[in-house]
Amino acid sequence: MIPKAETAHWIAASVALLIGLLLIAEAIVGPEIFRRRTWRAYLFPSVVVASSVGLWIIVVFSTFSTMHLLAHALWAQAALVAGAVQLAVVRGKLKSPSWSLVPGFALLVSGLAFLVHEQNPWLYSRSAFLHHAIGWMLVVVALFPLGQALRPRQVVWRAGFALTFVLLAILLFADRDAAPIFGRYGLGGGP
Amino acid sequence: MNSEYATSIPREEAQEPAVRRSWRTLAIQLLGPLTIVGGIVWAVAQPYRIVLLDRAGQGIYDYLFQAPLLVVLVGIAFTFCIAPGLVEDLEAEELRDTEG
């Protein structure tokens, strides 16, 4: 009994929203206070690693399309690497701010995977629209971890990185298996 | 003495000084509730997203995972599991800064 694609996307959106809230909270209070309790320090990387496991499960079941299978595998791998690096940062094994480049690279690769595996134009369907929107968003926001690596003390990079996940959640929540692109406001398009 | 007219003198209780919360504390406390409100507003705006209100042809996953309710759930989780400890640590830090 496999859930519909939109259901899986809403679950992913919930995880992204939770990650977004955690990162916003960390940006507000600062990493020192946020990581004062060990469980809280490990929460973000653990959720990312857990989400990568979820993505691998989707890879196993998404046998309907090779492109989707490869794209989900790439996102799963990107999340796993980013989560693992973040775990090592929290643990104190990795200390250089340059390790922020890893999540940045993961976002960039994920965005490119969105863009490459969507073969239809923006307004073909809601799914196509969201693929393009999420893809370009991830490519652009990959600059935030880059900024974190170069100027780790500036809050703007951390805040931008956090808001990325909230925006990602909004776009994933907007996904429907069958719906006009902009709902009742027109631009019909296919399913 | 008639107690209807002569009441006891109200005891002046030492009142705790008003605690002024910092914007950071307030922001952390508002994050969860704002998310919950967002989910509720979404549910009101698109009631057909709530399967309980429109049951025709729905499966088990549709009942388990209803998008606006997931948003509310995330907000509740943050409000009750993350925010209280974070506010506690933040206030302790701010108190330490004030005293130090």
Per the DSSP assignment, residues forming a β-bridge with A190 are A125
For residue range A65-118, what is the model confidence (pLDDT) as tens digits?
888 899 999 999 999 999 999 999 999 999 999 999 999 999 999 999 999 988
> Shortest Cα distance from B32 to chain A (angstroms)?
8
* CB-based contact A28 B28, cutoff 8 Å: yes
* CB-based contact B82 A1, cutoff 8 Å: no
Q: Which residues of B touch A173 (CB under 8 A)?
A: 67, 70-71
| Gap between the Cα atoms of A50 and A63, Å rounded | 21
* CB-based contact B24 A29, cutoff 8 Å: yes
The CATH number for A44's domain is: 1.25.40
* CB-based contact B77 A7, cutoff 8 Å: no
For residue range B70-91, what is the model confidence (pLDDT) as tens digits?
999 999 999 999 999 999 999 9
- Decide if A185 is inside a domain: no
| Gap between the Cα atoms of A100 and A38, Å rounded | 20
* CB-based contact A3 B65, cutoff 8 Å: yes
Confidence at residue B55, expressed as pLDDT on a 0 to 100 scale: 72
The number of distinct structural domains making up chain A is: 1
Report the C-alpha dihedral over residues B66, B71, B76, B81, rounded to 10 degrees: 110
Give me the numbers of helices (H) and strands (E) for chain B, helices first please: 4, 0
**Which of helix, strand or coil describes residue B98?**
helix
Confidence at residue A104, expressed as pLDDT on a 0 to 100 scale: 94
**Residue A82: closest CA among A113, A109, A122:** A109
| Gap between the Cα atoms of A87 and A93, Å rounded | 9
- Decide if A187 is inside a domain: no
Per-residue CA distances from A140 to A143, A160, B51 (Å): 6, 11, 36
* CB-based contact A7 B65, cutoff 8 Å: yes
Confidence at residue B11, expressed as pLDDT on a 0 to 100 scale: 63
* CB-based contact B85 A37, cutoff 8 Å: yes
ipTM above 0.85, yes or no: yes
The residues of B whose Cβ lies within 8 A of any Cβ of A are 24, 27-28, 31-32, 35, 60-62, 65, 67, 70-71, 73-74, 77-78, 82-83, 85-86, 89-90, 93
Per the DSSP assignment, residues forming a β-bridge with A125 are A190
- Decide if A186 is inside a domain: no
Q: Which residues of B touch A33 (CB under 8 A)?
A: 86, 89-90, 93
**DSSP state, residue B3:** T
- Show the domain range for A26: 5-173
Confidence at residue B58, expressed as pLDDT on a 0 to 100 scale: 78
Residue ranges covered by each domain of chain B: 23-99
| Gap between the Cα atoms of A74 and A55, Å rounded | 9
- Decide if A108 is inside a domain: yes
Confidence at residue B48, expressed as pLDDT on a 0 to 100 scale: 84
| Gap between the Cα atoms of B100 and B94, Å rounded | 10
Interface test with A, best of B82, B87, B97 (most A CBs within 10 A): B82
Q: Both tokens of residue B96?
A: 């330490």
Residue located via tokens 């969507």: A118
- Which residue type does A91 have? R
Indicate yes or no: pTM above 0.95. no
Residues in chain A with pLDDT values less than 70 = 184-191
Residues in chain B with pLDDT values less than 50 = none
> Shortest Cα distance from B28 to chain A (angstroms)?
6
* CB-based contact B31 A17, cutoff 8 Å: no
| Gap between the Cα atoms of A151 and A89, Å rounded | 17
Confidence at residue A191, expressed as pLDDT on a 0 to 100 scale: 43
